[in-house]
Amino acid sequence: MSGERTPPRFRVDRLWPDPATDLDLDDAFADFAPPPAPAGRLPVATNMVTTIDGRAQRMGTAEGLSGRADRRLMRLYRVAYDAVGSGIGTLRATDFWSTLPADLAERRAAAGRPPQPVALVIAGSGPVPTDRRWFGWGQPRLLVVGAASPLASGDRPIPGGTQLIVAPTDHPDPRWVLDQLAGRGIGSLLLEGGPTTNAAFLAAGCLDELYWTIGARVLATEALPMLTPIRGGSPFADAPREATLVSVHRSEDELFLRYRFEPASVHG
Ligand SMILES: NC(=O)c1ccc[n+]([C@@H]2O[C@H](COP(=O)([O-])OP(=O)(O)OC[C@H]3O[C@@H](n4cnc5c(N)ncnc54)[C@H](OP(=O)(O)O)[C@@H]3O)[C@@H](O)[C@H]2O)c1
């Protein structure tokens, strides 16, 4: 557990609901909680940042798409969730980690929860960069790989402290992944992308909320949006998945939106 000794403070305006100006960001999200669990699985949200023109990558990573307030907010979202997960494409692209700074870890511990969320990476059949720092942080780690993964046989070493879970399919089915988490006592999952993983969970009817930061910039590149096209054709092309706007906050020129999806009628 490590982090800022003095947590950074940011000011936000709440635009919806109950408009209020000049709030402390931490205070504004102090009561933030995951959505209610749908029938039969744990609740899942994804947190993404895009530019105004909807790009979720800049020069191959998400770096530089938003400001420091958004980075603090990313950690405030994590506080509320039991597990924080990403697709392997994100770990291949960048050496991220999903630990909380000391002040937020202490807040969880004071509430009787593990100080750090469980870290999850979901891979398919491609390479897994086991030299990433993600494998070295002091938090429980789950690595889910597909049946055809180079790691699936268990012959290759993976860094200590990482629990390897091999799926029965080449691409782990999101519902199967959620069952695996539930079986380990995990009650909620916050995804942090990437766009392919988001699309897989949406297609499987396993995405309940979206936390979307709009960074006040434009790229006009061919970078990925927050969701890739669903493989095999989108079931939502003719019947778009409806969402409800839960809240909107503003930090300087950036917007923090929270959307809740209506219960899914598509089940992977
Ligand atoms: N703007 C943001 O907020 C944000 C957030 C996160 C990431 N990003 C950016 O997004 C990019 C990475 O996104 P990405 O979409 O390429 O990768 P990703 O979603 O992180 O991972 C995709 C990979 O997940 C594996 N996978 C596991 N289960 C799957 C399933 N059921 N269906 C499909 N794939 C499954 C596949 O791995 P195999 O290849 O092993 O088969 C697939 O290639 C990076 O540039 C990253 O920086 C941006």
pLDDT digits (tens, 9 = 90+) for 229-253: 998 999 999 999 999 999 999 999 9
pLDDT digits (tens, 9 = 90+) for 13-56: 999 999 999 999 999 999 999 999 999 999 999 999 999 999 99
- Give yes or no for residue 49 CB within 6 A of ligand 1: yes
Query: Among the residues of the chain, which ranges form H helices?
Result: 25-28, 68-79, 88-93, 102-110, 174-183, 195-203
110-142-225 Cα angle (round to 5): 95
Ligand 1 pocket: which of 128, 144, 149, 171 to mutate (most atoms within 8 A of CB): 171
DSSP state of 42: -
Give pLDDT, residue 137: 84
pLDDT digits (tens, 9 = 90+) for 19-31: 999 999 999 999 9
pLDDT digits (tens, 9 = 90+) for 118-128: 999 999 999 99
- Give yes or no for residue 94 CB within 6 A of ligand 1: yes
In 182-263, DSSP assigns E strands to 189-191, 209-214, 243-251, 254-261
- Å from CA of 45 to ligand 1 middle: 15
Residue indicated by tokens 């392919």 = 196
Q: Residue 211 forms beta bridges with which residues?
A: 47, 258
Contact (Cβ atoms closer than 8 angstroms) between residue 120 and residue 144: yes
Query: What structural domains and CATH numbers belong to the chain?
Result: 39-229+239-261 (3.40.430.10)
